[in-house]
Amino acid sequence: MNDRPDQELRRLVRSISNASLSRRAAFGGLAAVAAAGVLSACGSPAQGGKTAAPAPTDLSDVDKIVNWSNWPLYMDEADDGSYPTLQAFTKQTGIKVNYNTDYNDNEEFFAKVQPLLAAGQDTGRDLWVSTDWMVARLISLGYIQPLNKDNIPNAGNLQPSLQDVSYDPGRVYSLPWQGIFAGIGYNLARTGGRKVTSMDQLLHDKQLKGKVVLLSEMRDTVGLMLMEQGKRLDNFTADDFAAALTVIQDAKDAGQLRGFSGNNYADDLDKGVVAASVVWAGDVAQMAVGNKNLGVTLPDTGFTLSYDNLVIPAMAQHKTNAEKLINYYYNPEVMAQVTGWVNYLSPVAGVKDVLLKSSDPDVVAVAKSQLVFPDDATMARAQKFRALTSEEDLSFTRQYQALVTG
Amino acid sequence: MAFALPGARPRKSAKRRRGLFVPAILLLPALIWLVFFFVVPTIALASQSLQTGSIYQGFQFTWAFSNYTEALSTYWSQMVRSFIYAASATVFTLAIGFPLAWFIAHRSGRFKNIVLVLVVAPFFTNFLIRTLAWQTILVDGGFVANVMKATGITGFLNWIGLVPNDSLLGSPFAVICGLIYNFLPFMVLPLYTSVERIDQRYLDAAADLYSNGWNTFWKVIWPLSLPGVVAGTLLTFIPAVGDYINAKILGNANTTMVGKVIESEFLVNLNYPIAAALSFVLMIIIIVMVSAYVRAAGTEELV
């Protein structure tokens, strides 16, 4: 494959230097030169590099809407499919929210908006919810705008432990929406009645052979593996990372794995197609209400904690409206309604107290759940994947993908 | 693809010169379509496959042929696997589709149209949903799984390596089943058009000359249906090689096909040059294989 165009070039050079240039060869040669010119004109410029994101004129006052892209099942929902807190926001401020659950996967969503952002165009969205590492990428590419905290006085309700994150010191660009524990989920009907409590068991238990799913989200799957090997997620090295991958690779080669999955592992676990899986704890906690065979372990060696964060993309047309919306949800009374429904970790202080006051026993149960309001002992075992440099990010992602698609 | 269509013989007449304008106008939409949606993207892809860089530093055109060697050395096994799966699926669709096409053409009588509609009927449902349905069909403890286990077929499939564990789902077997099912109509319809034109009197003549069933099939029916066989196998094989939905939904972690690799290189790794190089390699291999195949089948002489 390698030498073909080279030969083409050499032949071209020869034919040009040749006096008896046939008409056909000349046309062929011209075409080849033109093709080479076209080919090399197709490069793409470097992106961002800490340049300030372009901000268009804000249409917030004229155009009372805000376009929000969020993950599915990440909002309190009434039986008729409407969103009570969003409706209350519209009633309170007159701002209409176009709420879309079209954020299914960080990579997929990035691929969708990246060409627009790279071209400096509006994505049609004023607000979306990206996971920590994606926020880091968006910031370094200059794809999101700093938040105007004057419009978000409730940002003071942010849990103190979340004020400073490595990728966004002082929370200039982002505010957390929900926090997520990744642990190990299992379906007792398919595990022979045994709980799955460690990555070692998940990857080597013969009973589970061919019925194990790992998350395609690298930081969760490899994070759990690293911690089981006694590494800390805030200071592991490239070698540690490679060592963790080796264990997963061996399990894969041995036929232990059914596959790698994004959002859709939950259904398979529920149905019993999958016996055990690396899971987002909140999902399984929600499903366990209806399926008593389901359980989730937060391994003793540690489990990952990550946050999905509200960010405002470059060129967003309704930035102020988006900030008002963030401010609205940073009221503990409002966030409590969301937390009571989605069962993830609330970044807003004071939510637990609101939930405890509820008359609904289910809501009080949520307030007492270790998965939603973990105590200090649980929190001590949770670790955050360290921020990666862009080189590390590409390198680790590629190593992991080579494993996923191998 | 260079297989000639019936009736497309070049006309000798030089009389009708003035009619050039109308054909040009009629061809224009197709030409514009080809230029914008094939030629331009192909050039862009070719360029991308020879660039180096990253999304952070931008991509520069550097004649980086190493992208091709890297792509092939990293992903040759998925490439080979894709061709094996697609080839097996093509052989099975042919084996299933031929009798079906024959039946529709010569035995279905007044139900012909209804049966033809039934062949196309799966297209009324979304591709993804059809494939997901196979999860239900092959699920552990389901009817199919129980019957196959009881009859020892699962054990046999396990022995030849098509089913790694005791469950049918999450296996190369399931992936190939999905491919066969999803591409069967593409095999049956071209076969039907070929087979339907075979004159019953040829078969009568063969019988009169004491030809047995096998000889009649091999010496009369098969050569006459070759155009359909070629068209059908191409329509099945080419998309099946690039398909990855079946492998994703019905396979396991070790059944990834090359389409999935290209997707993840584009969307997850943001390694556009490698993804472009892989797409190009796939395209070239398919073109080479198809031209060799069409030449070997020699369909031009048959039509």
Tens of pLDDT, residues B126-172: 999 999 999 889 988 889 999 998 998 988 898 888 888 778 888 99
Q: Which residues of B touch A390 (CB under 8 A)?
A: 54, 56
**pLDDT band at residue A33, thresholds of 50, 70 and 90?**
low
Q: How high is the pLDDT of residue A307? A: 95
The answer to whether the CB of A346 falls within 8 A of the CB of A335 is yes
CATH superfamily for A65-179+307-372 is Periplasmic binding protein-like II (3.40.190.10)
Distance CA A344, CA A366 (A): 10
Amino acid of residue A127: L
- What stretches of A188-327 adopt beta strand conformation (E)? 212-215, 257-261, 276-280, 294-297, 303-311
Which residue is closest to B138 within chain A, CA to CA? A273
Q: How high is the pLDDT of residue A4? A: 42
**pLDDT band at residue A49, thresholds of 50, 70 and 90?**
very low
CB contact under 8 A, A49 and B56: yes
At B184, give phi and psi (nearest 5°): -55, -45
Contact with chain A for residue B136, Cβ under 8 A: no
Q: Using alpha carbons, select from A399, A307, A381, A397 the residue that is nearest to residue A344.
A: A307
Between A255-264, B23-32, B172-181, B285-294, the lowest mean confidence (pLDDT) is in A255-264
Domains in chain B, please, with CATH? 21-64 (no CATH), 75-301 (1.10.3720.10)
> Is B284's pLDDT higher than 70?
yes
CB contact under 8 A, B170 and A210: yes
- Taking only the tens place, the pLDDT of each residue in A351-361 is 999 999 988 88
**What is the pLDDT averaged over residues A177-202?**
94
Could you say which of A253, A260, A398 has the minimum Cβ distance to residue B269? A398
**ipTM higher than the 0.90 cut:** no
> Is A12's pLDDT higher than 50?
no
Amino acid of residue B40: V
CA atoms within 13 A on the CB side of A113: 27
CB pairs under 8 A between A and B: 123
State the Rg of chain B over Cα: 23
Q: Could you tell me the residue ranges of all domains in chain A? A: 65-179+307-372, 182-305+386-404
Q: Which residues of A touch B57 (CB under 8 A)?
A: 46
- Distance of residue B269 Cα from the nearest chain A Cα, in angstroms: 6
Could you say which of A39, A107, A390 has the minimum Cβ distance to residue B267? A107
**What is the pLDDT averaged over residues A350-377?**
89
Which CATH code is given to the segment(s) A182-305+386-404? 3.40.190.10
Q: How high is the pLDDT of residue A13? A: 41
> Is A270's pLDDT higher than 80?
yes
User: Strands A174-187 and A294-297: what pairing?
Assistant: antiparallel
- Distance of residue A83 Cα from the nearest chain B Cα, in angstroms: 28
- Taking only the tens place, the pLDDT of each residue in B220-256 is 999 999 999 999 999 999 999 999 899 988 998 889 9
CB contact under 8 A, A43 and B77: no
- Distance of residue B303 Cα from the nearest chain A Cα, in angstroms: 33
Q: Which residues of B touch A258 (CB under 8 A)?
A: 170, 252-253
Q: How high is the pLDDT of residue A353? A: 93
- Distance of residue B166 Cα from the nearest chain A Cα, in angstroms: 9
Q: Which residues 188-247 of B have a C-beta within 8 angstroms of A? A: none
> Is A252's pLDDT higher than 90?
yes
Question: Rounded to 5 degrees, what angle do the CA atoms B142, B143, B144 make?
Answer: 95
- Taking only the tens place, the pLDDT of each residue in B85-105 is 999 999 999 999 999 999 999
Average pLDDT, rounded, for chain A: 86
Count CB neighbours of A384 within 10 A: 17
> Is A146's pLDDT higher than 80?
yes
- Taking only the tens place, the pLDDT of each residue in A297-348 is 999 999 999 999 999 999 999 999 999 999 999 999 999 999 988 889 999 9
CB contact under 8 A, B267 and A49: no
